[in-house]
Amino acid sequence: MTQGEDAGRYLTVSGDMQFKDISLALRKAHPELKTPTFTLPYPAALVVSIFHKRLSLAWARQHLRRRLYWDATPAERDLGMTWRAPQEALLDSMPVILENDWV
């Protein structure tokens, strides 16, 4: 690598998509998948977390309702990176996933 800060680390992300956005995009492009689009209300999700064997109430409180934002400006600036839209990348990855029956 000849660009960027020595021993630097860069986030390479083009944007964000919520699970509902992902599901809606997949459903539109691949209606046969019947992806879920319902979002469980926060209070109900907390109740479910109490009884779920792999979740905890503490985990649910810490992670649910959070939006994460990533800043890839250093990669754009230092490395000259350009991005594809998240939805485009998602949909372009689907043919190989479907061909291999990974869903």
Backbone angles phi, psi at 100, to 5 degrees: -95, 5
Q: What is the pLDDT of residues 44-74, one digit of tens each?
A: 999 999 999 999 999 999 999 887 778 888 8
Q: What is the pLDDT of residues 7-19, one digit of tens each?
A: 678 878 888 888 8
Instruction: Check: CB of residue 26 under 8 Å from CB of residue 96.
Output: no
For the whole prediction, is pTM greater than 0.75? Answer: no
Sole residue written with tokens 């690598």: 1
pLDDT of res. 8: 74
Q: What is the distance between the alpha carbons of residues 59 and 82, in angstroms, rounded to a whole number?
A: 35
